[in-house]
Amino acid sequence: MDLLKIFKALADDTRLRIIRLLIKNSFTVNEIIFVIGGRQSNISHHLKILLDAALVTNKKEGSQIYYKLNDQTFDQLYPELKRLISVNKETFSFYPEDKQRRNIILEKRKKIAEEYFENLHEEDSRSLNELLNQIYHVEDYLSFFQPRCKSLLDIGCGNGRYLPKLAHYSEQVIGMDSSPRLLQLADHLAQENQLKYQLKTADITKIPLADQSIDGAFINMVLHHISEPEGALQEVSRIMTNKGKLLLIEFLEHNDDSMREKYADLWLGFSKTELTKWLENNQFTVNQEVVKELNEYKVIIFMAEKN
């Protein structure tokens, strides 16, 4: 590792701004320009220096390239430096303005997903469910919640179609979604099945439940719609009890860029490595994992427990 190259890369205000921006999020060049300012050629030059120093990485998501911090470099060699860059507001006087513009991007991403699901047509929903049902069946993995939970939270429950099945494994089911319209459908379904249930309008990054109040959580095809997927898992960890069980189902990396337009997908899946790392970073131990695939699509199913 070339330490001289690394320290030269860090000795620049713009590159430090980029590093700070990428600590918790991934952004495209255009998004970085929106936050940092400057010409595209200049920002691209700074990104190349950071890439050469192994301080950032990039990942192609369909037609877009996203940049993120190289956690391996920072976590293994410079954890204290990462912390200082993250918290030292006196040195980085630019941070309030950058943070404000960053939040505009994150809010825009969030609204795209919310608007899609709020206006989701039954035909589109059926098309997506048919695809997923060809890859895996949720029912095959719900026994992971045995013995029964006291409370089981379905995060991103949509119209509530899994609530009756989850109710077999919990004294009470809680459905949570950002779409009030879909929760109305979930309410009708829960009443029809005489469930003991609650419904909450919220998103995964701000769950309106107390710390350590849930002993089961089900997250089915949600993270690829979230700007900060690791931050979402941190929030899930907060509300879960020790030994609480998490069933997480998510796409592995694929290249079908049409999923963005069809289903408002923000990310085209994730690598097994990064999903596992996010779980471990947020106090989850993976007990079992299963990979299912169909054509170009692969889905990973994690059964994990909170430490």
- Looking at residues 106-126, what average pLDDT do you find? 79
Does residue 73 form part of some domain? yes
74: containing domain: 3-93
The pLDDT tens digits of the residues spanning 139-172 come to: 999 999 999 999 999 999 999 999 999 999 999 9
Does residue 261 form part of some domain? yes
- Looking at residues 252-269, what average pLDDT do you find? 91
Q: Give pLDDT, residue 169.
A: 97
Average pLDDT, the chain: 90
Q: Give pLDDT, residue 174.
A: 98
Question: pTM of the full predicted structure?
Answer: 0.83
Is there a single domain that holds both residue 198 and residue 84? no
Does residue 71 form part of some domain? yes
- Looking at residues 261-277, what average pLDDT do you find? 92
For residue 212, pLDDT over 70 is answered with: yes
For residue 87, pLDDT over 60 is answered with: no
Confidence of residue 90 (pLDDT cuts 50, 70, 90): low
Is there a single domain that holds both residue 193 and residue 251? yes
Q: Give pLDDT, residue 117.
A: 78
Is there a single domain that holds both residue 80 and residue 151? no
Is there a single domain that holds both residue 89 and residue 174? no
How many distinct structural domains can be found in the chain?
2
Is there a single domain that holds both residue 42 and residue 171? no
Is there a single domain that holds both residue 70 and residue 182? no
Q: Give pLDDT, residue 61.
A: 84
3-state SS string over the chain? CCHHHHHHHHCCHHHHHHHHHCCCCCECHHHHHHHHCCCHHHHHHHHHHHHHCCCEEEEEECCEEEEEECHHHHHHHCHHHHHHHHHCCCCCCCHHHHHHHHHHHHHHHHHHHHHHHHCCCHHHHHHHHHHHHHHCCHHHCHHHHCCCEEEEEEECCCCCCCHHHHHHHEEEEEEEECCHHHHHHHHHHHHHCCCCEEEEECCCCCCCCCCCCEEEEEEECCHHHCCCHHHHHHHHHHHEEEEEEEEEEEEECCCCCHHHHHHCCCCCCECHHHHHHHHHHCCEEEEEEEEEEECCEEEEEEEEEEC
